[in-house]
Amino acid sequence: MLARRVLLVDDHPVFRAGLRRVLEATGRYEIVGEAGNAHEAIRAAEETRPGLILLDVQLPGITGLRITRILRRKQTRARIVVISVHVDDDRIIEAVRAGAVGFLQKDIGAEAFTSALSRICAGENLLRAEMLARPDLARRLRAELRLPSDAAGGEGPMPLSTRELAVLDCVAQGLSNKEIADELFVSEQTVKNHMTSVLRKLNATDRVGAILHAVRQGWMEVTPPAPVHSGGDGTRDVQTVA
């Protein structure tokens, strides 16, 4: 059986390294790329064409669930599994609406994690199964799908192009125009042009206003990333994937 091509997206390099070890030890997965933020994830997905994407929900800047929506809009064939320190009903519903097929906690054991991925790679939608097992959650999802996204507490419409969103993601992380240009492999003038378009589309007067608009719409978060729990030698416990 061919190894499943996997893209790892998490802003903690130590967590990605631990997850890589767990997956490669099974002999069933090939890690074809890694990313630590939204624009890296979108670019890596386009370049590596993975069959499976493991995506942290709480990334700095653009959220993992917004990335899921973007990748679905770009018609990626990859199956997307979101991972998080915390899993609650609100995020499960958001993940379903975004197009993910699984939502796993970071503190799950390695065996349970790889077992869940095996089911997903075999074609199972774990989020759909969760809905079938919980009629109350399914009813809530159906009710929210009948509402506009803002009324349902979900993300607002996205007027920005993928490239404009990448620029805004870099701005949210405090990068200068030159740093953004280097990060995205474009000229500084191109960055300025994209930022001008972002400000116009969001009706914002400056970068701070654009970021605040994106936060209010649920496209990104500017909270600090979650702390990494590691062992005394600076490495993660190999018995878990988090």
| 169 or 242, higher pLDDT | 169
Q: What is the pTM of this model?
A: 0.77
Backbone angles phi, psi at 186, to 5 degrees: -135, 175
141-176 pLDDT, tens digit each? 777 666 554 444 445 567 888 889 899 989 988 899
Q: Which domains does the chain show, CATH number per domain? A: 4-145 (3.40.50.2300), 162-217 (1.10.10.10)
Distance CA 40, CA 51 (A): 17
Tokens 């190894």 correspond to: 3
| 151 or 219, higher pLDDT | 219
Confidence of residue 89 (pLDDT cuts 50, 70, 90): confident
28-68 pLDDT, tens digit each? 999 999 999 999 999 999 899 999 999 999 888 888 888 99
For residue 106, which of 211, 8, 213 has the smallest C-alpha distance? 8
